[in-house]
């Protein structure tokens, strides 16, 4: 067991975990932040995407110990109190989610995408989403939501 | 906002943003893995690495000694406790009248394993990691046997037998239609067009893996099961009445937020059964969450048909008869709907949108050493549409006819129309959707686009699929005669509270369909109350009376109709109470825009005021009218519903790389009356994406020699990604369904039903070839484009 400390959603946290603990399990089980989801075991699906030191990262492919000392932001830390992030608001306005399981990872990926590419065209958005699966929406409204959010950010 | 504006913004027909979204976009959903019960232990299943083997011994002494391990349970423990097996809920008969054949399906494998991934034992430990570590120490001695996995090989002489009860691995040899009429049609035909078609095996892969938590309270004797289910009441019934884990009235089943199902979460599987059963045995709640690679081998798979189909035509292109022989892979065991999917949900749609006077279909359901095959989005109707629409397009091309004109020549235009395959289509307008789709895709100018593409070295093609399907399942007596073990009505309880807010307890379940919004729209519209005041409750058998769950595109047509009838009853009673409170005759009470008023006066009661009156009982004779305001309906539809439409795909194939780009995809669908167009379009988008996935990317592949699932993860099973798909052009035409009070046909599966044929018809057009197998990978397209 080893003690791992980091900042998650602005709060200093620390837990005693087995070294093999994945960051996603650290978040879900040790910190009860269950908004980040596990959808696969080969790092394809993107349901686990969080931000580590400002960059989108698949938390299923990072050990908690690798994030020691880092600033981590999860979906729970995206809204500013009651005020939704524009990407969150756009997903609701444009019906960019159905079952919601891929949604936290999709939103975190989108936020990172728009930080790097402020005005992506449709082709770029679709390419940037290749690490996030959605089985429900066919991506049509996800792309629409991200485009809409890019126009207000 | 006044009542009329409110109705426009949040009533029937409005594209209301979803009420349920807030929790999902902020990470506050409650999926089963998000739930943790105090003192819970964790389960990990030991699964067979062999496709077919005897279980000679299970030595788990080392596993029991491993850190954190509480218990290891096997099929012997299940048998000792007298549990029943996992069940198939639909009985199909062969041509000779004999019932379908299958072997027992024990909760944990007992004497044999019959597919890679088959559940053999369960390790229960303090943590999930400890359970998984200890599972590696469970030593199962297997006697390896030969296996057969391909649908085309199952009935071959000498093929390894899956169940002794089903010789030649044949569970049933079923037929539908008029063989003699079809033979006559073919004798008189000017032309016969035939195709050999494989409908590729798919894995549903909802993004949330299956999970369950079983819990037993020893004080009360009550069991609780949290499960990723599309139908919690059916789970409760099966677990109590058939498997015998708990009495029905001592079992609570909760399907909380569920991350997609597409049919794969209908079945009552071994894993949730074991969690409930084991929770009493170990005296702790037992939690199990599938890893994705587990989902691949153990979730119900879909499709997997081999078909030979022939279409008889006269010299002008009028269809005279259709003859179909299908072999359908059932997998190693029958599941809840398994037997119905390649029979009654398939062959009954072979008439398509066409006036086809004679149809005959034979289906052999075969068993193989693969994961069980059951309902997957469309469940039989994609397979039927693929057969008929590929034949139609091929016939049109062979006769030099325009594919749209060929279809118009054969369309049904008079309703009701009795097909030769049980279904009687009640209403429709197939020309309307075809014409609108042609307009949306600018069909007239396709030749110019094709020429322009060719100048760039690209092969562009266009393909049609005019589909019809049967959903809104289903009228109970009718499906009872077809072999279903259940009725397919739906229930709703509309509970008005004293403060005038409303809860609707629905037997439907929302795992992406947006019922918390659409059902609330209906209530808000009819009662004239703000949509914020309406809560839709689903998924908990303690809160909701028996319901049949969500699949088969039934929640709008059947689920909402139940709410509509219950609302009728609420309004009827409310008007009676209003008459007394307002001291008027009942005939003088008008209910409009959320207000009860006395006609010709300005005296009235808002809905909330009426509600309070109902619950105080001061101003009406409670000996005649009971206090309270809460009504229930168990609604049984009078027919299937028949969504229909036209999908047109335009593709470009690069002959140098074989890459197929879907340039444009148009879907024009008739879903009858639509409650929320935005949500309906979303269902079409998702269905079309799955259909394009089937056509271009997805196939579940088992190794023919070893029976190993080669496509066992997202590395090898190609899921559609955002850059595999275009944005879609979706349109709608409307002929309301006559079989339910709301005129709704349902929309959840149509996208997956119509689209594969459109894509393949477009690719064959692009390459000037007759046939190509799904999925059209770049290699397949490249070979076809280059004559290799």
Whole-angstrom distance, CA of residue A106 vs CA of residue B153: 42
Give the pLDDT confidence score for residue B591 in this predicted structure.
97
Is the Cα dihedral B699, A144, B653, B657 positive or negative?
A: negative
Contact B685 A140 (CB under 8 A): yes
Whole-angstrom distance, CA of residue B96 vs CA of residue A110: 59
**Quick check: B3 pLDDT over 90?**
no
Chain A residue with minimum CA distance to B207? A39
How many Cβ pairs within 8 Å bridge chains A and B?
A: 183
Q: B527-561: buried (b, 16+ CB within 10 Å) or exposed (e) per residue?
A: bbbbbebbbbebbbbeebeebbbbbbbbbbbbbbb
Contact A135 B292 (CB under 8 A): no
Residue A137, chain B, CB below 8 Å: the answer is yes
Average pLDDT over residues A117-129: 98
Residue A24, chain B, CB below 8 Å: the answer is no
Contact A95 B751 (CB under 8 A): no
Last residue of one domain, picked from the residues A32, A48, A77:
A77
In the sheet where B534-537 sits, what is the strand order?
Answer: B534-537, B502-506, B490-496, B630-635
Q: Are residues A100 and A62 in the same domain?
A: no
Contact B26 A88 (CB under 8 A): yes
Which chain B residues have a beta carbon less than 8 Å from that of A100?
20-21, 23-25, 29, 257, 259, 512
Give the pLDDT confidence score for residue B6 in this predicted structure.
79
Average pLDDT over residues B377-386: 98
Architecture of domain B3-29+489-635: 2-Layer Sandwich (3.30)
Q: Are residues A14 and A48 in the same domain?
A: yes
Q: B85-102: buried (b, 16+ CB within 10 Å) or exposed (e) per residue?
A: bbbbbbebbbeeeeebbb
Residue B68, chain A, CB below 8 Å: the answer is no
Residue B677, chain A, CB below 8 Å: the answer is no
Q: Are residues A30 and A67 in the same domain?
A: yes
Q: Which residues pair with B301 in a beta bridge?
A: B373
Q: B725, B692 in Cβ contact below 8 A?
A: yes
Residue A26, chain B, CB below 8 Å: the answer is no
Of A34, A98, A143, Cβ closest to residue B686: A98
Interface test with A, best of B14, B19, B21, B31 (most A CBs within 10 A): B21
Q: Are residues A93 and A135 in the same domain?
A: yes
Chain A closest-CA separation from residue B753 CA (Å): 15
**Quick check: B34 pLDDT over 80?**
yes
A11-56 pLDDT, tens per residue? 999 999 999 999 999 999 999 999 999 999 999 999 999 999 999 9
CATH code (residue A98): 1.10.150.120
Average pLDDT over residues B336-356: 97
Contact A136 B512 (CB under 8 A): yes
Which chain A residues have a beta carbon less than 8 Å from that of B299?
none
Give the pLDDT confidence score for residue B675 in this predicted structure.
97
Q: Are residues A70 and A112 in the same domain?
A: no
DSSP assignment, residue B757?
A: H
Residue A8 belongs to domain spanning = 2-77
Q: Are residues A102 and A73 in the same domain?
A: no
**Quick check: B317 pLDDT over 90?**
yes
Chain B closest-CA separation from residue A120 CA (Å): 14
Give the predicted TM-score (pTM) of the model: 0.98
Degrees to nearest 5, angle at CA B758 with B357 and B767: 115
B175-234 pLDDT, tens per residue? 999 999 999 999 999 999 999 999 999 999 999 999 999 999 999 999 999 999 999 999
Residue corresponding to tokens 């009248």:
B97
Whole-angstrom distance, CA of residue B446 vs CA of residue B460: 9
Of A93, A99, A138, Cβ closest to residue B208: A99
Whole-angstrom distance, CA of residue B429 vs CA of residue B411: 9
DSSP assignment, residue B159?
A: P
CATH code (residue A38): 3.10.20.30
Please provide the average confidence, as pLDDT, over all residues in chain B: 97
Q: What is the ipTM of this complex?
A: 0.99
Contact A75 B512 (CB under 8 A): no
Contact A95 B679 (CB under 8 A): yes
Q: How confident is the model at residue B487 (pLDDT cuts 50, 70, 90)?
A: very high
Q: Please determine, looking at this structure, whether the domain spanning B305-474+639-785 carries the CATH number 3.30.365.10.
A: yes
Give the pLDDT confidence score for residue A58 in this predicted structure.
98
**Cβ count near A7 (within 10 Å):** 15
Chain A closest-CA separation from residue B461 CA (Å): 22
Q: Under CATH, domain B39-145+209-258+265-298 is a member of which superfamily?
A: Aldehyde oxidase/xanthine dehydrogenase, a/b hammerhead (3.90.1170.50)
Whole-angstrom distance, CA of residue B577 vs CA of residue A132: 55
DSSP assignment, residue B55?
A: E
**Cβ count near B221 (within 10 Å):** 11
Select from B204, B680, B649 the least CA-distant residue to B389: B649
Give the pLDDT confidence score for residue B688 in this predicted structure.
98
Tokens of B132: 């998984």
Contact B25 A92 (CB under 8 A): yes
Chain A closest-CA separation from residue B366 CA (Å): 29
Which chain B residues have a beta carbon less than 8 Å from that of A97?
21, 24-25
Chain B closest-CA separation from residue A12 CA (Å): 20
Split into its structural domains, chain A has a count of 2
Average pLDDT over residues B298-318: 98
Degrees to nearest 5, angle at CA B752 with B747 and B756: 145
Which chain B residues have a beta carbon less than 8 Å from that of A140?
682, 685, 689, 725, 727-728
Residue B262, chain A, CB below 8 Å: the answer is yes
Residue B779, chain A, CB below 8 Å: the answer is no
Chain B closest-CA separation from residue A128 CA (Å): 8
Q: How confident is the model at residue B324 (pLDDT cuts 50, 70, 90)?
A: very high
Residue corresponding to tokens 């079409």:
B684
Q: Are residues A57 and A109 in the same domain?
A: no
Average pLDDT over residues B313-341: 97
Q: How confident is the model at residue B7 (pLDDT cuts 50, 70, 90)?
A: confident
Q: Are residues A71 and A92 in the same domain?
A: no
Cα R_g (chain B), whole angstroms: 27
Of B129, B682, B722, Cβ closest to residue A126: B722
Whole-angstrom distance, CA of residue B228 vs CA of residue B211: 6
Tokens of B441: 């895709």
Chain B residue with minimum CA distance to A79? B26
- Backbone conformation region of residue B341, classed left if phi is above 0, alpha if psi is from -120 to 50, else beta: alpha
Last residue of one domain, picked from the residues A60, A77, A94:
A77
Interface test with B, best of A28, A51, A82, A99 (most B CBs within 10 A): A99
Chain A closest-CA separation from residue B771 CA (Å): 27
Chain A closest-CA separation from residue B645 CA (Å): 19
Q: Are residues A123 and A56 in the same domain?
A: no
B312 three-state secondary structure: strand
Average pLDDT over residues B699-708: 97
Contact B512 A91 (CB under 8 A): no
Last residue of one domain, picked from the residues A28, A59, A77:
A77
Chain A closest-CA separation from residue B286 CA (Å): 16
Chain B closest-CA separation from residue A147 CA (Å): 13
Q: Would you list the DSSP string of B166-232? A: SGGGEEEEEEEE-HHHHHHHHHT-SEEEEEEEEE--B----SSPPEEEEEEETTTTEEEEEE--S-H
Which chain A residues have a beta carbon less than 8 Å from that of B681?
95
Contact A95 B18 (CB under 8 A): yes
Give the pLDDT confidence score for residue B5 in this predicted structure.
82
Of A18, A45, A91, Cβ closest to residue B25: A91
B110-166 pLDDT, tens per residue? 999 999 999 999 999 999 999 999 999 999 999 999 999 999 999 999 999 999 999
Of B28, B720, B728, Cβ closest to residue A35: B28
Average pLDDT over residues B458-469: 98
Which chain A residues have a beta carbon less than 8 Å from that of B713?
40-42, 44
Which chain A residues have a beta carbon less than 8 Å from that of B264?
none
Contact A98 B260 (CB under 8 A): yes
Ranges in chain B annotated CATH 3.30.365.10: 3-29+489-635, 305-474+639-785
Of A34, A101, A141, Cβ closest to residue B207: A101
B770 three-state secondary structure: coil
Q: Are residues A143 and A91 in the same domain?
A: yes
Q: Are residues A116 and A70 in the same domain?
A: no
E-assigned strands of chain A?
2-8, 11-17, 49-52, 55-58, 71-73
A89 three-state secondary structure: helix
Chain A closest-CA separation from residue B129 CA (Å): 9
Contact A135 B690 (CB under 8 A): yes
Which chain B residues have a beta carbon less than 8 Å from that of A38?
33, 209, 289
Which chain B residues have a beta carbon less than 8 Å from that of A36?
27
% of chain B with per-residue pLDDT over 90: 98
Cα R_g (chain A), whole angstroms: 15
Chain A closest-CA separation from residue B31 CA (Å): 8
DSSP assignment, residue A30?
A: I
Q: Is the peptide bond before B474 cis (omega within 30 degrees of 0)?
A: yes
B615-631 pLDDT, tens per residue? 999 999 999 999 999 99
Please name the residues in contact with B641: beta carbons below 8 A apart, sequence gap of 6 or more. Answer: B470, B471, B472, B553, B557, B672, B737, B739, B740, B744, B745, B746
């Amino acid at each position: 067991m080893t003690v791992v400390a980091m900042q998650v959603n602005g709060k200093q946290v620390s837990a005693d975990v087995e070294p093999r603990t994945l960051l996603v399990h650290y978040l879900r089980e040790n910190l009860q932040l269950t908004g980040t989801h596990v959808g696969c075991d080969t790092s394809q699906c993107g349901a686990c995407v969080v931000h580590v030191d400002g960059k989108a990262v698949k938390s299923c492919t990072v050990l908690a110990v690798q994030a020691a000392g880092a600033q981590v932001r999860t979906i729970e830390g995206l809204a500013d109190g009651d005020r939704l992030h524009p990407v969150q608001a756009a997903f609701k306005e444009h019906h960019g989610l159905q079952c919601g399981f891929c949604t936290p990872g999709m939103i975190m990926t989108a936020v990172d995408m728009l930080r790097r590419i402020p005005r992506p065209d449709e082709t770029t958005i679709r390419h940037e989403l290749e690490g996030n699966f959605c089985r429900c929406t066919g991506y049509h409204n996800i792309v629409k939501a991200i485009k809409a959010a890019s126009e207000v950010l | 906002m006044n009542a009329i504006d409110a109705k426009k913004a949040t009533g029937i027909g409005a594209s209301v943003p979803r009420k349920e979204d807030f929790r999902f976009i902020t990470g506050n959903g409650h999926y089963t893995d998000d739930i943790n019960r105090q003192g819970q232990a964790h389960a990990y299943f030991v699964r067979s690495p062999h496709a077919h083997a005897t279980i000679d011994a299970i030595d788990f002494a080392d596993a029991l000694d491993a850190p954190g391990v509480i218990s290891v349970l096997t099929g012997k423990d299940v048998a000792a406790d007298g549990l029943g097996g996992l069940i198939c809920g639909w009985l199909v008969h062969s041509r000779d009248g004999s019932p379908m054949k299958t072997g027992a399906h024990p909760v944990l494998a007992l004497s044999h394993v019959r597919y890679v991934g088959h559940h053999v034992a369960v390790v229960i430990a303090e943590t999930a990691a400890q359970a998984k570590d200890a599972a590696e120490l469970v030593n199962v001695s297997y006697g390896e046997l030969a296996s057969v996995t391909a649908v085309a090989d199952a009935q071959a002489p000498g093929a390894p037998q899956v169940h002794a009860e089903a010789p030649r691995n044949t569970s049933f040899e079923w037929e539908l239609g008029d063989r003699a009429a079809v033979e006559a049609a073919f004798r008189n035909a000017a032309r016969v067009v035939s195709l050999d078609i494989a409908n590729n095996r798919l894995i549903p892969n909802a993004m949330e893996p299956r999970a369950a938590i079983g819990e037993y309270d020893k004080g009360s004797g009550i069991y609780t099961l949290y499960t990723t289910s599309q139908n919690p009441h059916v789970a409760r019934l099966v677990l109590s009445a058939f498997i015998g884990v708990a009495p029905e009235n001592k079992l609570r089943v909760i399907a909380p937020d569920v991350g997609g199902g597409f049919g794969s979460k209908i079945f009552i599987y071994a894993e949730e059964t074991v969690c409930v059963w084991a929770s009493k045995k170990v005296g702790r709640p037992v939690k199990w969450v599938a890893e994705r690679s587990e989902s691949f081998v153990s979730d119900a798979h879909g499709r997997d048909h081999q078909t030979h189909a022939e279409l008889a035509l006269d010299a002008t292109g009028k269809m005279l008869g259709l003859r179909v022989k299908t072999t359908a892979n059932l997998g190693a065991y029958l599941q809840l709907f398994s037997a119905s999917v390649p029979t009654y949900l398939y062959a009954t749609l072979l008439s398509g949108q066409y006036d086809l006077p004679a149809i005959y279909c034979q289906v052999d359901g075969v068993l193989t050493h693969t994961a069980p095959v059951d309902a997957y989005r469309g469940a039989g109707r994609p397979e039927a549409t693929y057969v008929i629409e590929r034949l139609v397009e091929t016939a049109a091309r062979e006769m030099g006819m325009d594919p749209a004109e060929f279809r118009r020549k054969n369309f049904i235009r008079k309703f009701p129309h009795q097909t030769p395959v049980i279904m009687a289509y009640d209403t429709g307008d197939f020309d309307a959707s075809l014409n609108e789709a042609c307009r949306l895709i600018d069909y007239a100018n396709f030749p110019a686009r094709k020429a322009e593409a060719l100048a760039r070295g690209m092969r562009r093609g266009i393909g049609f699929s005019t589909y019809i399907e049967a959903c809104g399942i289903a009228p109970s007596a009718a499906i009872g005669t077809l072999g279903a073990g259940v009725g397919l009505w739906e229930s709703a309880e509309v509970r008005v509270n004293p403060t005038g807010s409303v809860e609707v307890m629905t037997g439907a379940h929302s795992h992406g369909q947006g019922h918390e919004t659409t059902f609330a729209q209906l209530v808000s519209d009819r009662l004239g109350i703000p949509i914020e005041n309406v809560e839709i409750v689903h998924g908990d058998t303690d809160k909701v009376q028996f319901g049949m769950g969500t699949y088969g595109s039934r929640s709008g047509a059947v689920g909402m109709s139940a709410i509509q009838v219950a609302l009728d009853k609420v309004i009827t009673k409310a008007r009676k109470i209003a008459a007394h409170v307002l001291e008027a005759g009942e005939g003088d009470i008008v209910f409009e825009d959320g207000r009860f008023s006395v006609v010709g006066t300005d005296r009235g009661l808002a809905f909330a005021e009426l509600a309070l009156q109902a619950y105080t009982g001061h101003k009406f004779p409670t000996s005649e009218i009971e206090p309270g305001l809460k009504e229930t309906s168990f609604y049984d539809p009078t027919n299937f519903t028949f969504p229909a439409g036209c999908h047109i795909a335009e593709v470009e194939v690069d002959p140098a790389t074989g890459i197929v780009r879907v340039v444009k995809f148009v879907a024009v669908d008739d879903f009858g009356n639509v409650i929320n167009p935005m949500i309906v379009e979303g269902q079409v988008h998702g269905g079309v994406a799955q259909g394009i996935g089937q056509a271009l990317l997805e196939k579940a592949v088992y190794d023919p020699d070893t029976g190993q699932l080669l496509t066992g993860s997202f590395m090898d099973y190609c899921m559609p990604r955002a850059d595999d798909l275009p944005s879609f052009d979706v349109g709608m035409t409307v002929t309301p369904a006559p079989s339910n009070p709301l005129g709704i046909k349902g929309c959840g599966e149509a996208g997956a039903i119509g689209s594969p044929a459109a894509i393949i018809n477009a690719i064959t057009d692009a390459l000037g070839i007759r046939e190509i197998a799904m999925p059209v990978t770049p290699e397949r397209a490249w070979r076809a484009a280059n004559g290799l």
